[in-house]
Structure 1
Amino acid sequence: MTSQVRAIPAAPSAIALMHFSNRLTFETDCSDVYGSQQSGDVDFVLVDVRGPLAFERGHVPGAINIPGRLLTAESLAGYPTSTLFVVYCAGPHCNGVHKAAVKLAALGYPVKEMIGGVTGWLDEGLELSVAVQRPATTAIGCEC
């Protein structure tokens, strides 16, 4: 009897190598971002693409806040097109990061997703920076 795992055969090794290697050109993880920050090798711009209220409540240290809807040629005019942007959102349940990555790529910038977003950062046991405390009743939805 074949398991559910093997019901669909695995790709040949050469195809798997190409697939997983290609994925790494589109993404990085929280540990890599943190490690780069700790070693001082920050050669990218870390962007939280959530809305300002969510950013103020807690964001990855070193990140700037540019909500996805504000990623335009005008708002990015100060960045050379060689700037690598690493974008993140709330977590795997939010596609705001993908929308932001599409906008950045369409504008000609290299971009990677920090997989896991805020959820992944916290899952790694890392601390968030807090800009401003808001009343608990303030909605902080993604606003991506």
Structure 2
Amino acid sequence: MLPLVTRDELKAMLDAGEVVVVDTMPPAYYAREHLPGAVNIPGFPYEEAARLTDELAPAVLPHRAAPIVVYCANTPCRNSELVGARLVSLGYTDVRKYREGIEDWVAHGLPTRTAAD
């Protein structure tokens, strides 16, 4: 299991520019709404999560020591755990998870972006 980060911790890291955020939702969901500055590595379909992470991580996460936070839709969603665990296996050294996901972020009135932004 990945170490967890709270909403408030993640907000502070984003505000300070100290984190790379990875949205693990399918591309259509990412395009519709994601956390500010987030990159997309889909963790669904689950059986494709490892392959997609292997293919996309080098381009969107070039620095393996950078602080990274993965997130999904909500607590039951498995995407972020699958992508995050794969990142660790690829040698990324500071990977954490925002377990509550974008639903929690939005419920607390925090900003999001769309592909059009």
TM-score (norm 1): 0.65
- Separation (CA, whole Å) in 2 of partners of 1:34 and 1:84: 14
Superposition map of 1:1-144 within 5 A:
26-38=3-15, 41-68=16-43, 69=49, 70-72=52-54, 74-78=55-59, 79-109=62-92, 110-132=94-116
User: % of aligned pairs identical?
Assistant: 29
RMSD of aligned C-alpha atoms? 2.0
Which is greater in Rg?
1
Alpha-carbon shift at residue 128 of structure 1 (Å): 1.9
- Separation (CA, whole Å) in 2 of partners of 1:121 and 1:53: 19
Partner amino acid for 2:100?
Answer: G
Contiguous gaps of at least 5 residues in structure 2: 44-48
Alpha-carbon shift at residue 43 of structure 1 (Å): 2.3
Contiguous gaps of at least 5 residues in structure 1: 1-22, 133-144
Asked whether the equivalents of residues 71 and 80 of structure 2 are also in contact (C-alpha less than 8 Å), the reply is yes
Instruction: Give the match's secondary structure for 1:86.
Output: strand
- Separation (CA, whole Å) in 2 of partners of 1:66 and 1:127: 20
Instruction: Give the match's secondary structure for 2:5.
Output: strand
Alpha-carbon shift at residue 117 of structure 1 (Å): 0.6
Alpha-carbon shift at residue 56 of structure 1 (Å): 1.0
Q: Which has the higher helix share?
A: 2
Instruction: Give the match's secondary structure for 2:14.
Output: helix
Instruction: Give the match's secondary structure for 1:83.
Output: coil
Give per-residue Cα distances to partners, 1:10-59, cap 9 Å, x unaligned.
xxxxxxxxxxxxx9x80112222222223xx2222100011110011111
Asked whether the equivalents of residues 90 and 117 of structure 1 are also in contact (C-alpha less than 8 Å), the reply is yes
